[in-house]
C-alpha cells in the first residue's frame, strides 16, 4: 500500500514514527507493507530528515493528490477550505482518504461522503473523534445490531482538564485555564475548546453515525464552561454529581436532541470518572445495553494509533470493490424518513439551579411557589448556611422543558431577594 501525506505537523510526524517503530508487527498484521511515498507540507525542509529516504517531499498538495502511484491520501493539514479541496480531488482521483480533521467532516462531511460513494472510495476518520477510543468502528460495526438510543461523551480534553483542576485543586476558572495552557492542554486562545465548538464538531459526526442522519453541525445546541463557578462544582459534588462538559445526542419520541453543555453527571456513572485531559464515550444500544469507552482524546501518538488502524483497514480492502467496505455512516441503504431535531427550548431534562439570595425570610417560599406555579416539580431543595447576609439555595428539579423553566427563572430573577444571575445546568439523563 502506497500512501501520501498532506501536512507534517505533530500528528504527521507521530504517524511516521509509529509506522517505523512497530513496522514489524504492523507488517505482519497487514500481511504487506505500508509505504510512505510522498509528503506535502508548507515546510518541506523540516520533513526531509524524518521521512524514509525514497519518500518525496514537496510543498504542493497536487504532488500528493494527483500522484497516480498513491493508493491512500492521509489528510493531516487541518483547517477547512484547503483540506476540503484536497480531499475532494483525492477522491475524484479514486484515492482512499484517511483524515483526522473533525472540523472538515463536521462542516463538509456530507459532500465528502457523497463523493466517496460516487467514486467507490473509503474515507476513514477514526482519528477525527476521541482518537484512542475507536468510537467510529464501535458505532458503525460493533453496534450494527442496535438502534442506538443515546451517545454521551466527554470529548474535549481541554475543558475536561480545566474542570478537573477546578474541582481537585479548588482553582477558579481563569487560573485553571492558565494552568492548562502552561501544561500544553489548552491553546493560547482556548475559546474553541472551552466554548464547546470542538466538542460540537465531534458530536455532530457521532450523531450522524448513531442516528443515520446527515452531519448537521447547526443542530448542535452548544454551551461552554467559561461561566462555571467553583462553588457549583463543590455544591453538586455534595449532592452526588460532577459537572462535565457533556456532548450528547439522544433520540426521543419528539426528535433528536444534540447538545454540548456543562452537565451534572451522577458520581457513580462511568463518565464522572473521566478526569484530566482524558475522553470517555457512553453509548446505549437497545440490544447491547449501556457501553462505555475511555482513552486519550488527543495527542500526536495516540492519534497515530487511529490513523494506522484506518490504514490497515483500507489496506485489506485496497483492491475490493466498494460494496465490501464498511458503509461510510454504517448504513449501506438510505433511510426513508427525514430526521427530526428537538428545537432549542423544547429539550427536557432535570436541571440544577442555584439562587444566590439575600438572607430574607420567605425566599424559599418565593422560589418554590414560582416553580410550582410553572408546573416544575422539585427533586431536591437545599438552603446553604448564610454568610455575610447572603446564602445559596440549591435546587434539582425533575424533568422540565427548558423554555418553561427559563420563563420561571426570568420571573424569579426579578425578585428583590434574588441576587446575581441564577445558575441553571442540566442533569444528565440515564
Residue 196 interacting with its own copies (CB under 8 A) = no
Q: Which is nearer to its own copies, 331 or 420 (CB)?
A: 331
Residue 137 interacting with its own copies (CB under 8 A) = yes
Out of 95, 102, 137, 202, pick the active-site residue.
Answer: 202
**By rule CB under 8 A, what string of x and - marks binding of each residue 18-47 to its own copies?**
x--xx--xxxxxxxx---------------
Q: Which is nearer to its own copies, 272 or 425 (CB)?
A: 272
The CA distance from 279 to 271, in Å, is 9
- Concerning whether 202 is annotated as a catalytic residue, the answer is yes
Place of cell 485496497: 318
What contacts 358, CB < 8 A, 6 or more positions away?
A: 389, 390, 417, 419
Q: DSSP letters of 129-159? A: SSTTS-HHHIIIIITTTPPEEEEEEE--HHH
What Cα–Cα distance (Å) separates residue 179 from each residue in 197, 242, 404? 21, 21, 39
SS3 396: strand
Q: Which is nearer to its own copies, 108 or 269 (CB)?
A: 269
The CA distance from 258 to 207, in Å, is 8
Q: How far is the CB of 105 from its own copies (least distance, A)?
A: 18
**Nearest alpha carbon to residue 93 among 128, 56, 118, 60:** 118
Q: How far is the CB of 309 from its own copies (least distance, A)?
A: 5
How many residues make contact with its own copies (CB under 8 A)?
A: 65
Q: Which of residues 42, 60, 141, 344 is near its own copies by CB under 8 A?
A: 141
What's phi and psi for 279, nearest 5 deg?
-115, 155
Residue 157 interacting with its own copies (CB under 8 A) = no
Q: What b-and-e string marks burial along 390-399, b requiring 16 or more CB atoms within 10 Å of the CB?
A: ebbbbbbbee
Q: Which of residues 211-230 bind its own copies (CB under 8 A)?
A: 212
115, 91 contact by CB (below 8 A): yes
Only segment of 67-75, 83-91, 185-193, 316-324 that touches its own copies (CB under 8 A): 316-324
Q: How far is the CB of 412 from its own copies (least distance, A)?
A: 38
Q: Which is nearer to its own copies, 334 or 389 (CB)?
A: 334
Residue 312 interacting with its own copies (CB under 8 A) = yes
105 CA to centre of own chain: 12
By residue count, the chain amounts to 430
Only segment of 136-144, 168-176, 245-253, 348-356 that touches its own copies (CB under 8 A): 136-144
Residue 210 interacting with its own copies (CB under 8 A) = no
What Cα–Cα distance (Å) separates residue 294 from each residue in 127, 161, 323? 15, 15, 31
Q: Which of residues 277-306 bind its own copies (CB under 8 A)?
A: 285-296, 299, 301-302, 304-306
**Active site positions, annotated:** 202
Residues at the contact surface with its own copies, assessed by CB under 8 A: 18, 21-22, 25-32, 126, 132-134, 137-138, 141-147, 212, 268, 270, 273, 285-296, 299, 301-302, 304-309, 312-313, 316-317, 320, 323-327, 330-335
Amino acid at each position: 500500500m502506497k500512501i501520501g501525506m498532506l501536512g507534517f505537523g505533530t500528528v504527521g510526524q507521530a504517524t511516521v514514527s509509529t509506522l517505523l517503530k512497530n513496522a514489524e508487527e504492523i507488517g505482519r498484521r497487514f500481511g504487506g507493507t505500508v509505504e510512505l511515498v510522498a509528503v506535502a507540507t508548507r515546510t518541506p525542509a523540516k520533513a526531509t530528515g524524518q521521512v524514509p529516504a525514497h519518500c518525496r517531499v514537496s510543498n504542493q498538495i497536487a504532488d500528493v493528490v494527483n500522484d497516480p502511484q498513491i493508493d491512500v491520501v492521509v489528510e493531516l493539514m487541518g483547517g477547512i477550505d484547503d483540506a476540503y479541496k484536497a480531499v475532494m480531488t483525492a477522491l475524484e482521483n479514486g484515492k482512499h482518504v484517511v483524515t483526522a480533521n473533525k472540523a472538515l467532516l463536521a462542516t463538509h462531511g456530507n459532500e465528502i461522503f457523497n463523493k466517496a460513494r460516487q467514486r467507490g472510495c473509503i474515507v476513514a476518520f477514526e482519528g477525527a473523534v476521541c482518537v484512542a477510543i475507536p468510537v467510529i468502528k464501535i458505532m458503525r460495526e460493533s453496534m450494527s445490531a442496535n438502534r442506538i438510543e443515546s451517545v454521551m461523551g466527554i470529548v474535549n480534553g481541554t475543558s475536561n482538564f480545566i474542570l478537573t483542576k477546578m474541582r481537585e485543586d479548588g482553582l477558579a476558572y481563569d487560573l485553571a485555564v492558565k494552568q492548562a495552557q502552561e501544561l500544553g492542554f489548552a491553546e493560547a486562545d482556548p475559546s474553541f475548546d472551552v466554548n464547546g465548538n470542538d466538542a460540537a464538531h465531534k458530536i455532530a459526526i457521532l450523531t450522524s453515525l448513531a442516528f443515520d442522519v446527515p452531519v448537521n453541525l447547526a443542530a448542535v445546541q452548544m454551551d461552554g464552561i467559561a461561566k462555571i463557578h467553583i462553588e457549583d462544582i463543590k455544591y453538586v459534588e455534595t449532592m452526588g454529581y460532577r459537572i462535565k462538559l457533556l456532548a450528547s445526542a439522544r433520540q426521543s419520541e419528539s426528535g433528536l436532541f444534540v447538545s454540548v453543555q456543562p452537565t451534572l453527571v451522577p458520581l457513580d456513572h462511568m463518565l464522572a470518572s473521566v478526569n484530566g485531559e482524558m475522553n470517555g464515550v457512553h453509548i446505549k444500544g437497545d440490544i447491547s445495553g449501556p457501553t462505555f469507552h475511555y482513552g486519550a482524546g488527543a495527542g500526536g501518538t495516540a492519534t497515530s494509533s487511529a490513523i494506522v488502524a484506518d490504514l490497515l483497514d483500507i489496506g485489506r480492502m485496497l483492491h475490493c470493490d466498494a460494496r465490501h467496505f464498511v458503509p461510510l455512516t454504517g448504513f449501506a441503504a438510505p433511510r426513508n424518513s427525514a430526521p427530526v431535531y428537538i428545537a432549542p427550548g423544547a429539550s427536557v431534562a432535570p436541571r440544577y439551579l442555584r439562587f444566590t439570595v439575600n438572607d430574607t425570610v420567605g425566599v424559599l417560599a418565593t422560589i418554590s411557589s414560582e416553580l410550582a406555579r410553572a408546573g416544575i416539580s422539585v427533586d431536591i431543595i437545599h438552603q446553604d448556611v448564610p454568610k455575610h447576609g447572603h446564602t445559596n439555595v440549591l435546587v434539582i428539579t425533575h424533568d422540565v422543558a427548558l423554555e418553561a423553566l427559563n420563563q420561571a427563572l426570568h420571573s424569579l430573577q426579578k425578585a428583590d431577594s434574588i441576587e446575581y444571575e441564577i445558575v441553571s445546568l442540566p442533569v444528565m439523563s440515564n
